[in-house]
């Protein structure tokens, strides 16, 4: 019997959301009081968003989406997890006085996003945004890139900040390369996951399925749709302390904030990358 990878991952993200929304990692109380969940990197590279239409793909329970709304964007968040979209929508209502434009959240698998929008709204977004731990859940990036192109207005841009694919070729101890780039669609990396990055001791366990896409695959998927890459950076530190054996970099000049590397691999393995591509 063929495994339904999408449904299995959706179930895992519903479980994660229940843990994440009460975790210190996401610190929802501080967020409600005004803390921004975005990192300095994406704020700087995306730039001014006041009055711009921004759609956030794979938005989880919406903290970054709502942070863009606080900065003046007209936001739409997309995610396939019912639990995440319910939580995001509840946050948007609770925090409605924080926004000039009311945020909107839509339940959809990312490659089905266009089907959830009216024909008149497609091709009208100034910015398509996604970040940190998103594309690894997608078996094929070509449909994803097609959605991005068709969401953008001419002159609009796509922006991604994401964990570097180099990280995912190692085992959890970062000693043994065990996983290659661009594994076939029907051959994902299958891992029994206990806990979650936001709370490793959380009492949840599930099978998750992921794909490791090389940088060339990511870029080719976008450029084959007609998008023009105008920014690409590899960063030696991660803004998140979610890897084993962390080394704290008190100030990383490219992140413009504190970062984390891996002991024994300092300045040898890039931790994240960022990319901006524009629709002509």
Residue in 160, 163, 136, 162 with CA at minimum distance from that of residue 148: 160
Q: What is the pLDDT of residues 63-88, one digit of tens each?
A: 999 999 999 999 999 999 999 999 99
* Region 144-152 average pLDDT: 98
Residue in 185, 178, 106, 175 with CA at minimum distance from that of residue 143: 185
**H/E/C letters for each residue in 196-260?**
ECCECCCCCEEEEEECCCCHHHHHHHHHCCCCEEEEEEEECCECCCCCCCEEEEEEECCCCEEEE
Does residue 262 lie in a domain region?
A: no
β partners of residue 191: 208
Q: Which two tokens stand for residue 180?
A: 């290659």
For residue 184, pLDDT over 80 is answered with yes
For residue 145, pLDDT over 60 is answered with yes
**pLDDT in the model for residue 99:** 97
β partners of residue 78: 57, 106
Does residue 127 lie in a domain region?
A: yes
Does residue 21 lie in a domain region?
A: yes
**pLDDT in the model for residue 173:** 79
**pLDDT in the model for residue 157:** 99
- Phi, psi of 95, rounded to the nearest 5 degrees: -105, 20
Distance (Å, rounded) from C-alpha 99 to C-alpha 278?
27
Q: Which two tokens stand for residue 105?
A: 């959240």
**pLDDT in the model for residue 147:** 98
**pLDDT in the model for residue 88:** 98
The share of the chain scoring above pLDDT 90, in percent, equals 89
- With b meaning 16 or more CB within 10 Å and e meaning fewer, what string describes 219-238? bebbeebebeeeeeeebbbb
- What element of type H or E holds 129? strand 125-131
Distance (Å, rounded) from C-alpha 5 to C-alpha 170?
22
For residue 229, pLDDT over 90 is answered with yes
Q: What is the pLDDT of residues 1-23, one digit of tens each?
A: 578 999 999 999 999 999 999 99
CATH number of 197's domain: 3.40.50.150
For residue 136, pLDDT over 70 is answered with yes
Does residue 81 lie in a domain region?
A: yes
Does residue 243 lie in a domain region?
A: no
Distance (Å, rounded) from C-alpha 119 to C-alpha 129?
20
The lowest-confidence range among 51-55, 132-136, 245-249 is 245-249
Does residue 109 lie in a domain region?
A: yes
Q: Report the mean per-residue pLDDT for the chain.
A: 95
* Region 156-180 average pLDDT: 87
Q: Number of structural domains, the chain?
A: 1
Going by pLDDT thresholds of 50, 70 and 90, the confidence category of residue 180 is confident
**CB 177: neighbour CB atoms within 10 A?**
10
Does residue 246 lie in a domain region?
A: no
* Region 12-40 average pLDDT: 97
**pLDDT in the model for residue 155:** 98
What domain range is 219 assigned to? 5-237+271-278
For residue 48, pLDDT over 90 is answered with yes
For residue 179, pLDDT over 80 is answered with no
**pLDDT in the model for residue 169:** 87
**pLDDT in the model for residue 1:** 54
Going by pLDDT thresholds of 50, 70 and 90, the confidence category of residue 222 is very high
**pLDDT in the model for residue 137:** 97
Does residue 181 lie in a domain region?
A: yes
């Amino acid at each position: 019997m063929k495994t339904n990878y999408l449904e299995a991952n959706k179930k895992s993200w519903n479980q994660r959301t229940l843990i994440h929304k009460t975790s210190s990692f996401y610190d929802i109380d501080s967020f409600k009081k005004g803390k921004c969940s975005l990192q300095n990197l994406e704020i700087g590279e995306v730039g001014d968003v006041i009055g711009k239409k921004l759609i956030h793909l794979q938005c989880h329970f919406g903290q970054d989406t709502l942070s863009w709304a606080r900065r003046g964007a007209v936001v739409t968040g997309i995610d396939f997890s019912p639990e995440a979209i319910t939580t995001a929508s509840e946050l948007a209502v609770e925090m409605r006085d924080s926004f000039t434009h009311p945020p909107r959240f839509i339940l959809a698998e990312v490659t089905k996003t266009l089907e959830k929008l009216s024909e008149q709204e497609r091709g009208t977004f100034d910015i398509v945004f996604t970040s940190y731990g998103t594309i690894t859940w997608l078996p094929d990036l070509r449909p994803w890139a097609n959605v991005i192109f068709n969401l953008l207005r001419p002159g609009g841009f796509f922006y991604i900040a994401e964990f570097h694919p180099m990280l995912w070729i190692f085992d959890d101890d970062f000693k043994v390369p065990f996983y290659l780039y661009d594994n076939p669609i029907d051959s994902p990396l299958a891992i029994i996951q206990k806990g979650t990055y936001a709370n490793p001791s959380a009492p949840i366990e599930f099978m998750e399925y992921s794909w490791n896409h090389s940088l060339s695959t990511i870029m080719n998927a976008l450029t084959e749709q007609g998008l023009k890459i105008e920014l690409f950076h590899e960063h030696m530190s991660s803004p998140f302390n979610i890897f084993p054996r962390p080394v704290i970099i008190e100030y990383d000049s490219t992140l413009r904030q504190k970062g984390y590397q891996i002991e024994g691999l300092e300045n040898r393995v890039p931790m994240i990358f960022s990319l901006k591509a524009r629709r002509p």
